A and B are shown apart, each in its own frame.
Chain A
Amino acid sequence: KAGVTQTPRYLIKTRGQQVTLSCSPISGHRSVSWYQQTPGQGLQFLFEYFSETQRNKGNFPGRFSGRQFSNSRSEMNVSTLELGDSALYLCASSLDQNTQYFGPGTRLTVL
C-alpha cells in the first residue's frame, strides 16, 4: 500500500507571497493532520481534517489554513509568508483517531 505523499518536496518563496501544499493520504485513511517542524519550536500541530471538516486546530495564526477534499486529499495554505514560516511541513494520515503515518514533508524556504 502506498504511503502518504506530499507535493512539492521543496519550495522557495519570498516574503508576502502565499503557498499551497498538498497531501495525499494512505488509501482508505480519512483523517489528515498537518504539522510544522522548525529547529527552534520542534514539531507543532497545525490542524486536522476528517471527512472534509476541520476537527482540531493548533495555535497558529489565521494565515495558516487548510481544506480536505472528498477523496481525503488535503491542502494547506499559508498566506502573506513571513521569514519565520520557513520550516518542514508534515502531513500525517490515519483511519480515524488512531495511529498516524507521516509523509516525507515539504521543505519551505521563505526569502
Chain B
Amino acid sequence: DAKTTQPPSMDCAEGRAANLPCNHSTISGNEYVYWYRQIHSQGPQYIIHGLKNNETNEMASLIITEDRKSSTLILPHATLRDTAVYYCIVFWYGGSNYKLTFGKGTLLTVNP
C-alpha cells in the first residue's frame, strides 16, 4: 500500500503557482520523498526528490516540513503542459524491497 495521501484532484490557472500537497506521516528517517508525474498514457516523469531539506530544480521546488510528515511540490508558473497526474512517493534506497509504490496521485488540471 502507498504510504502517502494526496488529494485526488486540483485545478490551477495557467501562469500561477501550483502547490500540490502530500501527507506521509509514517515516513521513516531514511526514506526520501519523490515526486513523479504522468501525462496521459506516457511513462512517469521524474520531477524532484528530497530527504530533509527543501530542494529546487529547473522543474519545481519541494518543500518538506521539519517533522517530515508532509511535503508540497510547487510548480512556480504552471502551463497547460503541466496537466498530469502527480505522484508523491516515499522511498528508501538501501532496502531489499527496492521498488516504487505508487498511490493514486493528484490529477492537476491547468486551466487557460
- A interface residues with partner B (beta carbon < 8 Å): 4, 31, 33, 35, 42-43, 45, 48, 55-56, 58, 88, 90, 92, 97-105, 107
Given A42-B102, A99-B49, do A56 and B41 touch, yes or no (CB 8 Å)?
Answer: no
Once bound together, how far apart are the Cα atoms of A41 and B101, in whole Å?
A: 12
User: How many A-B contacts are there with CB distance less than 8 Å?
Assistant: 53
Number of interface residues of B (CB under 8 A): 22
- B interface residues with partner A (beta carbon < 8 Å): 34, 36, 41-46, 49, 87, 93-104
Once bound together, how far apart are the Cα atoms of A42 and B44, in whole Å?
A: 12
- Least CB distance from A37 to B in Å reads 8
> B101 — which chain A residues lie within 8 A by C-beta?
45
Q: Which residue of A lies closest to B93 (CB)?
A: A97
> Is the CB–CB distance between A58 and B46 below 8 Å?
no
> Is the CB–CB distance between A90 and B44 below 8 Å?
yes
- Least CB distance from A86 to B in Å reads 13
> A98 — which chain B residues lie within 8 A by C-beta?
93
Given A48-B98, A56-B98, do A43 and B44 touch, yes or no (CB 8 Å)?
Answer: yes
- Least CB distance from B51 to A in Å reads 12
Given A90-B43, A102-B45, do A42 and B99 touch, yes or no (CB 8 Å)?
Answer: no
Q: Which residue of A100, A103, A105 is within 8 Å of B100 (Cβ)?
A: A100
> Is the CB–CB distance between A104 and B42 below 8 Å?
yes
> A42 — which chain B residues lie within 8 A by C-beta?
102-104
Q: Which residue of B lies closest to A91 (CB)?
A: B43
Once bound together, how far apart are the Cα atoms of A105 and B39, in whole Å?
A: 12
> Is the CB–CB distance between B94 and A105 below 8 Å?
no
> Is the CB–CB distance between A102 and B43 below 8 Å?
yes
Q: Which residue of B45, B46, B99 is within 8 Å of A33 (Cβ)?
A: B99
Given A42-B104, A97-B94, A99-B49, do A48 and B99 touch, yes or no (CB 8 Å)?
Answer: yes
